[in-house]
Amino acid sequence: MLSGIVLSAILLAQEPTVELPRELARVLTDYETAWVARDAKALAGLFAEDGYVLPGGRPPVKGRAAIERYYQGHGGPLSLRAIAYAMEGRVGYILGGYTSEKGQEDDGKFTLTLRKDAEGKWWIVSDMDNSNRRWQ
């Protein structure tokens, strides 16, 4: 009983999920799909040609080819949710949380900065995430 109360309190302490417009929701669902499939090529294909991954404790990874190499061997269960977003002209962002199973407490948080091309498709310009676990 107590563990259920503690879990409920933690989940209530998280930022609420916000609904994204369809064109931004596509970015998150495509990211989840590629990550779960461990498909580095598809994942890198979500990034602008000059996009970045900003991994913790490592230098930035720039460009689709480098991003694809970086993501080789990465992937697995993933559920993303948005807690904030904005779009203004050709730029936007999504802030959110991630976990391995939908409905669970967030394992970490992320920020995606986005750019829209002439055809109206949103591309990831930068992807940065970090864990919610405290350093010991």
Cα–Cα distance, 72 to 54 (Å, whole number) = 16
User: Does residue 69 lie in a domain region?
Assistant: yes
Q: Do the domain assignments include residue 97?
A: yes
Which CATH number covers residue 69?
3.10.450.50
C-alpha distances in angstroms, 4 versus 8, 42, 83, 90, 111?
6, 38, 24, 44, 30
- Give per-residue pLDDT as tens, 42-99: 999 999 999 999 998 899 999 999 999 999 999 999 999 999 999 999 999 999 999 9
pLDDT value, residue 1 = 45
Is there a domain that residue 110 lies in? yes
Query: Per the structure, how many domains does the chain have?
Result: 1
Q: Assess if residue 2 is contained within a domain.
A: no
**Among the listed residues 133, 128, 7, the one whose alpha carbon sits nearest the alpha carbon of residue 56:** 128
Q: What pLDDT does residue 136 have?
A: 59
Residue ranges making up the domain that contains 51: 16-131
Q: Which amino acid is at 3?
A: S
Q: Is residue 34 part of a domain?
A: yes
Beta strands at 91-99 and 122-131: parallel, antiparallel or unpaired: unpaired
At residue 133 the predicted structure's pLDDT band, cuts being 50, 70 and 90, is: confident
